[in-house]
Structure 1
Amino acid sequence: MSEYSTTHVNKLVKQFGIKASAQKRIRGGIYQIVTPDGRKYSLKRMPKQIARLRWIDRMLMHVQRNGPLLAWRNPQTPEGRKPHAISQKGELFVLTPWISGREPSPRSLADMRSCGIALARFHKAGQTALKGDISQSEIGEWYSKLDKRLRYIQNKISKAKTNSFSVPISRFIQRHGPEILRYANQAKALLRSSRYEVYRQSPRQYGVLCHGDGGPSNFIMNDKGTYLIDFETLHVDLRAYDLYRVIYNSSKDYRWDFSIAKAILDGYRKVANLKKMDYELIRVWLRFPFTTYLVLSPFKRIPFSESRLQWALENERRISTFLKKLEEYETRHCSTRGN
């Protein structure tokens, strides 16, 4: 998707009834807007169809009324009355308050606990928002998601065997492909042996409103508390998936230090109990070699290189020890009721 000129951004902002005295591109599709009186907003492209965006808006408006701190529109303000704007290219944009503050740091266990608390509060408020509406549910897609990613990895390994990549990359994948596939198959085995089917067959009972991509970059902390931001991945899923995303995104760059995950889980448990099944399902996603999958994918922020593949494999190996510590944590803290 192409970026927008200053003129086009100004036209989008005007659709919300405000004027931009300054604008700054933050990253692809996200702009900071400053009004003449100094108010700041985030103008963000939402890569969704309009029906999906309306659902996201409806859910977040309900959650916001129930207490959790979110970066979303306030319909009581003039600029918040319009839910979205449409560009000349037909792309959808939302305007939300710019939340000043800082990203939480995985080096701070207090920050990680705050993220766990914020996520649990979001899930709790989201349950009343859903009221059985699981039209955007991905609860039943776990098998197909894992299978699709596994096939992608298998395809890359097959290409490496025909030396379709550079010599160092092809040799690395040929050498370590069996180990990578073993981790992927372990994840699938964990899913089969879990009680996932219980949740899968009762999505209205177990589904929660999931952020979908939680992590340090999607929380903002300030004097008012911990905000959740960026909701283009909002959907209905199991809370284990959201916890996995926050744990993964917070731990992957810190050598899988389990104290980070412990702080997130400790924070979450201050608001809601976690069941044995939740831990089982968190382990499924953590065991899948997702970091390797990202390196093998056309993901611009992670180059496809031998050094990055080595980095990814080291991550997958550390997760083995990490998962043992997660099991120990579960044994100490798991609520067995309702399993």
Structure 2
Amino acid sequence: MREEYELEVLERYDVEVRSTRRIRGAFFCDTDRGTMLLKETALSGRRALLLYRALSRLEQKGNVKVDTPVFTEDGELLVSSAEGSVYMLKKWYQGRECDIRQEGELARAAKELALLHLELADSAEWSGGAKTGIGANDSTVPGGVLPVGRNPLDEIRRHNRELKKVRSFVRGRVAKNEFEYLFLDSFGKMFRIAEAVAARMENSGCMKLFSESCRRRDLVHGDYNYHNILMTKEGPAITNFEHMHVDIQAGDLYYLTRKAMEKNHWKQKTGQLIVDSYEKARRLSDAEREYLALCLAYPEKYWKTASSYYHSNKAWLPEKCVEKLKLAVRQTDEKYDFLAKTFGLIL
């Protein structure tokens, strides 16, 4: 039944659909205008329009491949199905996800990210906003909405408060499970690191960097991971920009690096390759390098796993949850060895 709704949505577009097939959470379409993807979205109409403006501009310049949204025959970017779901059709590419265990593909993904950042840095030209007179808290511009990222120091402090809340909760549990014993046993070491990162960031140039990025309206992808990088015959294609917002651009590089390094046991050669490949196209400033290092230093996976457990149903303990916490703790020494060698960061 759901498939029928989606096929009805496709009839709203001026394209001839030759065949369709399901892929993860979406509908893959072979059309007379090339490969396209129909996907549910939570975007508002204004956000969808801004996304179109950004991606169509990138597509016209031709330096990076992106999944530009497609208009319906009625000039709409979003279509509601009979069941009430909202869909967006966008251009797509024949390819596969980036393999983050292949260093060559990681290098191409990092360089492509740098090229994307160069194109997105001067966002005011096509977003309708002016560079002057826009503050860090002003999230709107004519013709669209540019959400602004959260203050990174405030985010770390919020995470630290939550870690303490989880510890208080676990301590109060009478019958503790394997996850809770492991969390309490590792908390002291991991929380000291979390507090040390917050202190270093407070006395760093990261807050100034954040303020400057907001003032310039620098845009980031917002979810730059291997799932959203397609390796095609013509080179990488970057997809799924729904989380695009104003922020420090090195945040995208942090996310790519962290996800890759967790899979590669914080191998120093791999991390250095990612940073070097990025800098072949766009040099990082000293403040960006500092920000990147401090973001990587924060025990993000440990906090995220603890937070997920705290907000879950405690009556059932997924084995995967325990394994994630063990991995976060086990990789700590490997990570800080990498950070010391690559960035000279010692907490």
Structure 2 match to 1:54: 49
Question: In the aligned structure 2, how far is the partner of 1:240 from the partner of 1:10?
Answer: 40
1:279-308 Cα deviation digits (max 9, x unpaired): 1101221122111123224389x8663333
Q: Say if 2:59 is the partner of 1:67.
A: no
Question: In the aligned structure 1, how far is the partner of 2:274 from the partner of 2:40?
Answer: 29
Instruction: Please tell me whether the aligned partners of residues 122 and 216 of structure 2 are also in contact (alpha carbons under 8 angstroms).
Output: no
Instruction: Please tell me whether the aligned partners of residues 73 and 97 of structure 1 are also in contact (alpha carbons under 8 angstroms).
Output: yes
Correspondence list, 1:148-187, <5 A: 148-163=158-173, 166-187=176-197
Q: 1:180 to 1:79 in 2, by over 3 A?
A: farther
Structure 2 match to 1:322: 338
Q: Say if 2:42 is the partner of 1:32.
A: no
Deviation at 1:183, TM superposition (A): 2.1
Percent identity, aligned pairs only? 19
Question: In the aligned structure 1, how far is the partner of 2:162 from the partner of 2:16?
Answer: 46
Question: In the aligned structure 2, how far is the partner of 1:171 from the partner of 1:236?
Answer: 40
1:51-77 Cα deviation digits (max 9, x unpaired): 2222222222222222233332376x9
Q: 1:160 to 1:48 in 2, by over 3 A?
A: same
Instruction: Please tell me whether the aligned partners of residues 139 and 203 of structure 1 are also in contact (alpha carbons under 8 angstroms).
Output: no
Question: In the aligned structure 1, how far is the partner of 2:176 from the partner of 2:267?
Answer: 33
TM-score, normalising length: structure 1: 0.84
- Could you say what the CA RMSD is over the residues aligned between the two structures, in angstroms? 2.9
Q: 1:74 to 1:311 in 2, by over 3 A?
A: closer
Instruction: Please tell me whether the aligned partners of residues 209 and 236 of structure 1 are also in contact (alpha carbons under 8 angstroms).
Output: yes
Correspondence list, 1:133-282, <5 A: 135=140, 136-139=146-149, 141-163=151-173, 166-204=176-214, 206-282=216-292
Which of 13, 16, 25 aligns to 2:13? It is 16
Structure 2 match to 1:334: none
Q: Which amino acid aligns with 1:178?
A: G
Instruction: Please tell me whether the aligned partners of residues 220 and 228 of structure 1 are also in contact (alpha carbons under 8 angstroms).
Output: yes
Counterpart secondary structure, 2:65: coil
Structure 2 match to 1:99: 93
Unpaired segments ≥5 residues, structure 2:
126-130, 141-145, 313-317
Question: After alignment, is 77-86 or 209-218 more displaced?
Answer: 77-86
Deviation at 1:225, TM superposition (A): 1.3
Question: In the aligned structure 2, how far is the partner of 1:294 from the partner of 1:204?
Answer: 26
Deviation at 1:10, TM superposition (A): 0.8
Deviation at 1:234, TM superposition (A): 0.8
TM-score, normalising length: structure 2: 0.82
Question: In the aligned structure 1, how far is the partner of 2:9 from the partner of 2:51?
Answer: 20
Question: In the aligned structure 2, how far is the partner of 1:290 from the partner of 1:79?
Answer: 45
Question: In the aligned structure 2, how far is the partner of 1:217 from the partner of 1:183?
Answer: 29
Counterpart secondary structure, 1:298: helix
Counterpart secondary structure, 1:260: helix
1:126-153 Cα deviation digits (max 9, x unpaired): 1233343764353552122222222222
Q: Which amino acid aligns with 2:327?
A: W
Structure 1 match to 2:300: 290
How many residues matched? Answer: 322
Deviation at 1:22, TM superposition (A): 4.3
